[in-house]
Amino acid sequence: MDNELNYEELLHLAAYSVNNSDLATALNLCKKVDINAVPDQRLNLIHAAILNQLGLHRESIDLYKLVIENEPENELARFQLGVAYFFSNDLEGAETYWDKLDYFAHFAEGLIAAKEGKFDEAIKHLSLFIANNDLYPALNNDAGNLLKAFEDKLEKDKAVGSQDNVTEITTKEPEASESLQEPVDQKPAPPDVAALLSIYKE
């Protein structure tokens, strides 16, 4: 009896490991196959997502491109490739792959809005994505995690702003220079959204 794991066994074990947050085991399983000699791109897609989650964006980009080369109609891979570019601070590269991906448009717009500090807008886009997405349930988890983080960010900013206003009213000298105040339109720095995204498990 052959003691080597076959492709389907490796694939299901890798997916199981990812679902249980055991990325080390999942990555080791992915690396047991030749990425250029797999019967389909499912394991390569998991492999690329793990690399992206670990911050190895360049390596994940190369692997996503291999997936798309072999499966040019794989829109999930194209979206994830855009995410890898986004988190490597290449917004132009991200938008190149997000272009015409109507199904993922609200998720992509939510990420872009958050990067610009427009958290209200990001929340609206992510909410719309969740409401309309029934093909990729794991992405709803990701979008929901981001949405909650952005809501918490807004609440925190409002609380800090209210406290600052009280302090200013009670302590500001009548003739204090207006140049010492923060600009009204200054945007809060966006959080590290890369750390909030979970692995895509499809």
77-91, 141-155, 168-182 — which is least confidently predicted?
A: 168-182
- pLDDT at position 56, please? 94
> How far is 175 from 182, CA to CA, in rounded Å?
16
Tell me what pLDDT residue 89 has. 92
pLDDT bucket at 21, cuts 50 / 70 / 90: confident
Lowest mean pLDDT among 76-90, 118-132, 168-182: 168-182
Confidence of residue 111 (pLDDT cuts 50, 70, 90): very high
Distance linking the first and last C-alpha atoms of the chain: 31
Q: With contact defined as beta carbons under 8 Å apart, do 18 and 50 qualify?
A: yes
pLDDT at position 2 is 65
pLDDT at position 65 is 97
Average pLDDT over the chain, rounded to whole? 82
State mean pLDDT over 126-142: 93
- Furthest CA-CA distance within the chain: 87
With beta carbons less than 8 A apart as the criterion, state whether 79 and 133 touch: no
Can you tell me which residue has the tokens 């890369």?
194
Could you tell me the pLDDT band of residue 19, with boundaries at 50, 70 and 90?
confident
Residues making up the chain, counted from first to last: 202
Give the pTM: 0.76
- Residue with the bigger pLDDT between 19 and 72: it is 72
Give the 3-state secondary structure of residue 51.
helix
pLDDT of residue 182: 31
Question: Which secondary-structure segment (H or E) carries 190?
Answer: none
Please list the alpha-helical segments (H only) found in 88-202.
91-98, 105-115, 119-132, 137-171
Query: Is residue 120's pLDDT more than 90?
Result: yes
- Whether 186 has a pLDDT exceeding 50, the answer reads no
At 167, the amino acid letter reads T
Residues 69 and 38: beta-carbon distance below 8 Å = no
> How many C-beta atoms surround the C-beta of residue 99 within 10 A?
12
d(CA 200, CA 79): 11
Residue partners of 144: CB distance under 8 A and separation at least 6: 126, 130
Higher pLDDT, 51 or 180: 51
Place of tokens 């074990």: 13
Q: Is the pLDDT of residue 37 over 90?
A: yes
